[in-house]
Amino acid sequence: MEGFFEGVGVAALVILALAGLAIGWLAGALSGRSKAVYAIIGAVAAMATPFLLAALGVTVIAAGGVLLVIIVGAVGAAVVVGLVRALSGRR
């Protein structure tokens, strides 16, 4: 797992944050709710997903390169933002 942290780098984290921000903002815009809150949730989820999977032992992500890490982060952000949207009591 240590190799994964070395391999990700700062540039990939910035790209993950931007992808999460975009997904969160889009979810907020589509639902008519706070775009900023969803953007922050998306950014945090996108950056956390690859690390969570690496901690669970899914090391093939690091071998797939930065593009695969970004795709996994974007999917993770979409899932978390969708969960937050579904679990929030406001309609």
Tokens of 40: 């922050």
What three-state secondary structure class fits 10?
helix
Domain boundaries, the chain: 2-85
Greatest C-alpha distance within the chain: 44
**Total-model pTM:** 0.78
Q: Which residue has the higher pLDDT, 59 or 20?
A: 20
Residue with tokens 């070395």: 6
Helix 35-55 to helix 66-87 angle (10° resolution) is 120
Per DSSP, 34 falls in state: -
Q: How much is the CA Rg of the chain, to the nearest whole Å?
A: 13
Tokens of 50: 């690859």
Averaged pLDDT for residues 12-23: 87
Determine the pLDDT at residue 39: 92
> Torsion angle of alpha carbons 57, 17, 71, 48, nearest 10°?
20
